[in-house]
Amino acid sequence: MSAAQPLERLEVRIEGYVQGVGFRWFVAREAARLGLVGWTANEADGSLRVVVEGSADALDDMLASLHRGPSAAQIRQVTSQRLAAAGGFGTFEIRAGAHSGD
């Protein structure tokens, strides 16, 4: 029996034509498929923000999915960073643009 992987956090900003194309719902489906918790929200500058926590392998899969996005999206740039998990999430949420972060 192998030890469980420690949880990590992935914070991502996606720029391009990423709002109004179902991207947040795409992210929510991927998070559910991968067993990730956190949130996604449209930002006022037209970008999309994603904050997820889970195993390193699941975060790798999520990042690959975010680089593809839904078919209607036109992704110009994806920036991401890995951090230690904060552990404050119980589910995955789609948040309104006026979210306050964690």
Four-residue CA torsion sign, 46, 65, 102, 97: positive
- C-alpha 85/C-alpha 97 separation (Å) is 23
Q: Which of 9, 33, 42, 68 is catalytic?
A: 42
pLDDT reading at 3 higher than 60: no
Distance (Å, whole) CA 48 – CA 39: 11
| pLDDT score recorded for residue 1 | 44
d(CA 73, CA 15): 10
The letter for the amino acid at 70 is P
Domain 8-85 bears CATH identifier 3.30.70.100: yes
Q: Measuring CA to CA, which residue among 70, 102, 73 is closest to residue 15?
A: 73
42 belongs to the catalytic site: yes
Q: Each residue of 16-56: pLDDT tens digit? A: 999 999 999 999 999 999 999 999 999 999 999 999 999 99
Choosing from 9, 24, 33, 68, the catalytic residue is 24
Give residue limits of the domains in the chain.
Answer: 8-85
Lowest mean pLDDT among 24-28, 59-63, 95-99: 95-99
pLDDT score recorded for residue 97 = 72
Mean model confidence pLDDT for the chain: 92
